[in-house]
Amino acid sequence: MKLLGYRDLQVFFIPLFGAAASGIETNPSSARKAVVALLGPVPGIIVGIIAAVVFFKTKEDFYALCASTLLFINGFNLLPFHPLDGGRFFEYLIFSKKPLYEVGFKLITGLALLGIAFLLKAPILGIAAFMVLLTLKSTSHSAHIAHELRTTDIQEDSELLPHHIPTGYLVKIMDQLQNRSGLSDPTAIAKASQAIWQRVCNRPATVGATIGLIAVYVVFMAVGIVAPLVVESGKAVMLTKTEIENRAGTDGSMVRYEVKSYKGRKVSEIPVDKNGLYNGEAIIWSFSTGNKSKQGFWKDGYWHGEWKFWDKGGQLQNVTVYEKGHPISYAVMKAGSLTSVAKDKWPLSVKKLTQKEPEGPGLTKQGQNDRQLSGVSN
């Protein structure tokens, strides 16, 4: 904001929410306002990416936490909802051109953000959205007064000074404010008049600037959505420890298990046969919640038999039966019981999830020879 010529800059820190910067433009411009809106979350996303790169190089969990936090917060801030920076960005570039567009945009996005706050159980976010809705009336008054001045009283080539309101225009603004909003406090009228005059002096963004800035927004919005998922997936892979354990079976023989753990918590255990193939009953737990995620059977390195799938909350969702890696039946939970689904209505995730080769943590040399001989005899 300093680089772009703002004056009277102030930063207000909001507990549990963040901070807001305010200032007065010396040369009001929609494009500059949009740039300022982007320069809130974009640097945070860039630092988040740097933290992610450091994590993948060092495997230090601290940097993964920094990356996830920075990317999530700043990516969320880019969402096109008022009063988030993403909402302000689109307001400045597009919706502030006409009062009806601006008020409608703030109303719709304010209600949407209120809904998100309810779903996320985030009261601070809900308060921010509610405050936007409370300012709709004053926003409407200011937008309409500025629009009327621009379209009926001010010549297109007039030279306007943002910090000097000509007496004639000031009188019209004050009269309109008192008629529309009933303001009587001199301080409130002065602040509202200055804000309206800033709207009058504001230069709309050109088509080229609008397209260029929206392109930048789309890029960083995509990064803000995808990057946290990449970091979390990479974190799960890099911090997962894999071990082979030998356990006594029910008949006294030794059974090998491939056991994976994440931060000291077991996330999967699968029996392994002498040839290094998965063989037996496997259990997989959710990385995030620790609840059971999948349970089913392997045979000679293939999914074979019944596999159950649970959601993160631990509720059974569906059951798929496999035969040597190929699904042969599928059922979903409905009204507390499993209901079989016709094959032509299976989701693509079930239809396409098939095995072409057996799987396992590794084949012994004898196992490799046995498989090769088996292939020759077949």
pLDDT in tens, 11-31: 888 776 677 888 888 888 899
Q: Say if residue 319's pLDDT is above 90.
A: yes
Please tell me the predicted confidence (pLDDT) of residue 367. Answer: 43
Domain containing 370 equals 240-377
Mean pLDDT on 139-143: 92
Q: Say if residue 378's pLDDT is above 70.
A: no
pTM surpassing 0.75?
A: no
Q: Say if residue 249's pLDDT is above 80.
A: no
Classify residue 165: in a domain, yes or no. yes
Does residue 190 sit in the same domain as residue 246?
no
Classify residue 1: in a domain, yes or no. no
Does residue 148 sit in the same domain as residue 121?
yes
Does residue 38 sit in the same domain as residue 62?
yes
Please tell me the predicted confidence (pLDDT) of residue 158. Answer: 65
Number of helices (H), then strands (E), belonging to the chain: the values are 12, 11
Q: Say if residue 268's pLDDT is above 90.
A: yes
At 373, is the pLDDT very low, low, confident or very high (cuts 50, 70, 90)?
A: very low
Half-sphere exposure of 105 (CA within 13 A, CB side): 24
Pick the last residue of a domain from 199, 215, 236.
236
Quick one: how far is CA 319 from the chain centroid? Answer: 30
Please tell me the predicted confidence (pLDDT) of residue 156. Answer: 62
Strand segments, DSSP code E, in 138-193 are none
Mean pLDDT for all residues in the chain: 87
Does residue 216 sit in the same domain as residue 68?
yes
Mean pLDDT on 117-134: 88
Residue 329, strand partner residues: 321
Please tell me the predicted confidence (pLDDT) of residue 262. Answer: 86
Does residue 316 sit in the same domain as residue 206?
no
d(CA 301, CA 101): 60
Does residue 250 sit in the same domain as residue 220?
no
Does residue 352 sit in the same domain as residue 369?
yes
At 218, is the pLDDT very low, low, confident or very high (cuts 50, 70, 90)?
A: very high
Q: Say if residue 360's pLDDT is above 80.
A: yes
- Indicate the SS3 state at residue 174: helix
Pick the last residue of a domain from 236, 269, 284.
236
- Evaluated on CA atoms 170, 175, 177, 182, the torsion sign reads positive
Does residue 163 sit in the same domain as residue 273?
no
The enclosing domain of 265 has a CATH number of 3.90.930
Most confident of 121-125, 186-190, 216-220: 216-220
Does residue 158 sit in the same domain as residue 10?
yes
Mean pLDDT on 221-246: 87
Pick the last residue of a domain from 168, 203, 236.
236
274 CB contacts (<8 Å, ≥6 apart)? 364, 366, 367
Does residue 116 sit in the same domain as residue 246?
no
The total number of structural domains in the chain stands at 2
Residue 117, strand partner residues: none
Mean pLDDT on 238-243: 86
Please tell me the predicted confidence (pLDDT) of residue 376. Answer: 33
d(CA 339, CA 320): 11
